[in-house]
Amino acid sequence: MSMKKEKPLILLSNDDGVNAKGLNELIRALRGLGEIIVMAPDGPRSGASGSITSEHPVRYYKVREEEDLTVYKCSGTPVDCVKLALHAVVPHRPDVVIGGINHGDNSAVNVHYSGTMGVVIEGCLKGIPSIGYSLCNHLADADFSALLPYIRRITEEVLEHGLPAGICLNVNFPDVAEFKGVRICRQTNGTWEKEWKVCTHPRGGEYYWLTGQFVNHEPEAVDSDHWALNHGYVAITPTQIDVTAYSIIKDLKNWKLDV
């Protein structure tokens, strides 16, 4: 499974856009590890999930170029960025695809809404070892400095070992100054509640802002990613692209489904 080469090719994207601090901190964490190519959205795409652009065409532009670093911005979604980078700008197949560093938590069920994990799942679907990095702090000026050595270490391990086909990593960092260590976790079971803030339009009628509170259904589960984050650990949740619910196949075969 080793993908080790003289100089690894590292493809980065995110969902907070090309100007986000998290992306630039990710570049800082990885400089020197290989050749870095960035294809990031030209503005914020938080909550983009695995969305793709089908109704409009997509464009991209070079933003800057330094030794072993080329940055592009793209008019599409985070997934579009990965697809377009692989088609149009990489000199050869990347050794790793990385999403982040996200300004905000992508643990638990948030994986289903996350544009950062959209990047990562797309890299994984293309057969490339892929990692998402997120910090549980959504502020634009969040402090990412404690994350950088961990990000470098985890990325080095992925470059060294590779990842099995169809499996990627969702790495979340608690918003603390010092981490207690790293835990390998499973996705926490929970639900978003109180999701809408209602406002009244100046010309009448109501509009709704998506917000909400995450309710953890298993706060005591020590193997869950939320437990790790709540206790000061870096949470690595390995994530798979096969979403088949194998456990129910046998039961479903007994349903009366023919007409």
Annotated binding site: 15-16, 46, 102
Nearer to a second copy, 177 or 249 (CB): 249
Residue 93 sits in the site that holds a second copy (CB under 8 A): no
What size, in residues, is the chain?
A: 259
CB neighbour list of residue 156: distance below 8 Å, 6 or more residues apart: 33
Interaction of residue 177 with a second copy, rule CB under 8 A: no
Enumerate residues 129-158 that contact a second copy by CB under 8 A: 149-150, 152-154, 157
Select from 24, 28, 33, 52 the one that contacts a second copy (CB under 8 A). 52
Interface with a second copy includes 167 (CB under 8 A)?
A: yes
Query: Site residues for a second copy, window 98-117 (CB under 8 A)?
Result: 109, 111-113, 115
Helix/strand/coil for 198 = strand
The tokens for 30 are 């990885």
What is the C-alpha to C-alpha distance for residues 116 and 136, in angstroms, rounded to an integer? Answer: 13
Separation of alpha carbons 89 and 66, rounded Å: 15
**Among residues 64, 65, 145, 196, which is the contact residue for a second copy, using CB under 8 A?**
196
| Interface segment toward a second copy; rule CB under 8 A; list 4-12, 26-34, 90-98, 182-190 | 182-190
Q: What one-character DSSP code corresponds to residue 19?
A: T
Sequence-separated (6 or more) residues with CB below 8 Å from residue 248: none
State the nearest-atom distance from the C-beta of 206 to a second copy, in Å: 7
